Amino acid sequence: MTTQSTKQSTTAQTAEAAGSAEGAARTVFLIAHTGRPAAVRSAELVVQGLLRNGIGARVLAQEAADLTLPPSVQTVADGEICEKAVEGCELIVVLGGDGTLLRGAEFARASGVPMLGVNLGRVGFLAEAERDDLDKVVRRVVARSYEVEERMTLDVLVLGDGDVVHRDWALNEASVEKAARERMLEVVAEVDGRPVSRFGCDGVVCATPTGSTAYAFSAGGPVVWPEVEALLLVPISAHALFAKPLVTTPDSVLAVEVQPQTQGGVLWCDGRRTAELPAGARVEVRRGAVPVRLARLHHASFTDRLVAKFALPVAGWRGAPH
């Protein structure tokens, strides 16, 4: 399979981040989960470090109200569209857990600006650093010592009576779920225009490799290395003999049809954006046209990241012979 992570050298990243206006002031867009005291303190430390090194900071007005910031920090209205809020910034630094990182991904996708995540939550697979690494994060941002890789996204369509009634996207997953707890959702799963199976279930997750360690993993799906280009279809608590996770090519089109005789369902994209699915609705998921760009500080393999994030037991390993 081909690779989906496009890594750029530090030199190339420096040229890109500098922008077309040589010598222009540098600005970093900061997003933080200000409902957490740790995030508030971390955000203030990052801003102070950036300002000391002559780099401007920009934050959302609602978050700025919860932070103690110098007057030189720029603020933007929360209602501004994502690409305008990040306009002129070279990097998005996100401080928080998985939900905050996915919120940051919305800004990153809309603007094309790379996102650097600092994990203040429990797992944080999208994060590149932990809270104890704040000084290192600031140093690397100041020196532009990071690489950028592109992560595959999903484009999601909801059709009703053959017409597109809703459009969305996802970095991790698009999940079709039952709306009523007491009733199963009856669906037909489809790949590339051909039916695979009909079953009752709690839902179906369509995920990227990036999302394979999120909802899809919890539903029993495989872990897929982010360099692999693929789409995943994972049934949730399906009442069927064949309802196994499927891994398809990145060019496949996955579809989930909510059967007419069942109650409607709900579409969730990255657990953040939702749309109602009436009975008979059809959800189509394909590779997204716009990737999300992630800034990377480390060259550690995904295997090491997986072991660290899930605290996997590896005692007794002596290494492969060379």
Over residues 78-122, the pLDDT tens digits come to 777 777 899 999 999 999 999 999 999 999 999 999 999 999 877
**Which of 151, 176, 209 is where one domain is finished?**
151
* 98, 135, 155, 163: the active-site residue: 98
Give me the pLDDT at residue 1, please.
38
In this structure, the answer to whether residues 146 and 171 fall within a common structural domain is no
The number of folded domains in the chain is: 2
In this structure, the answer to whether residues 174 and 231 fall within a common structural domain is yes
215 among the known binding-site residues? yes
5 or 40, higher pLDDT: 40
Domain that holds residue 41: 27-151
In this structure, the answer to whether residues 166 and 110 fall within a common structural domain is no
168 among the known binding-site residues? no
Angle at 226 between CA 5 and CA 84, to 5 degrees: 60
Task: Answer whether residue 294 is part of any domain.
Answer: no
What average pLDDT score do residues 214-236 get? Answer: 96
In this structure, the answer to whether residues 190 and 138 fall within a common structural domain is no
218 among the known binding-site residues? yes
What average pLDDT score do residues 286-315 get? Answer: 92
Judge whether 192 counts as a catalytic residue. Answer: no
214 among the known binding-site residues? yes
In this structure, the answer to whether residues 185 and 127 fall within a common structural domain is no
Give 191's pLDDT tier (boundaries 50, 70, 90): very high
Q: What is the CATH number of the domain that holds 43?
A: 3.40.50.10330
Q: What is the DSSP string of 240-278?
A: SS----EEE-TT--EEEEEPTTSPPEEEEETTTEEEEE-
Task: Answer whether residue 98 is part of any domain.
Answer: yes
In this structure, the answer to whether residues 37 and 145 fall within a common structural domain is yes
List Cβ neighbours of 194 (8 Å cut-off, separation of 6 or more). none
Give me the pLDDT at residue 124, please.
80
Token pair belonging to 6 = 């496009």
Contact between 84 and 107 under an 8 Å Cβ cutoff? The reply is: no
In this structure, the answer to whether residues 209 and 221 fall within a common structural domain is yes
Distance CA 27, CA 50 (A): 9
Task: Answer whether residue 77 is part of any domain.
Answer: yes
Give 6's pLDDT tier (boundaries 50, 70, 90): very low
Give 150's pLDDT tier (boundaries 50, 70, 90): very high
183 among the known binding-site residues? yes
Angle at 301 between CA 205 and CA 303, to 5 degrees: 55
Over residues 270-298, the pLDDT tens digits come to 999 999 999 999 999 999 999 999 999 98
In this structure, the answer to whether residues 165 and 261 fall within a common structural domain is yes
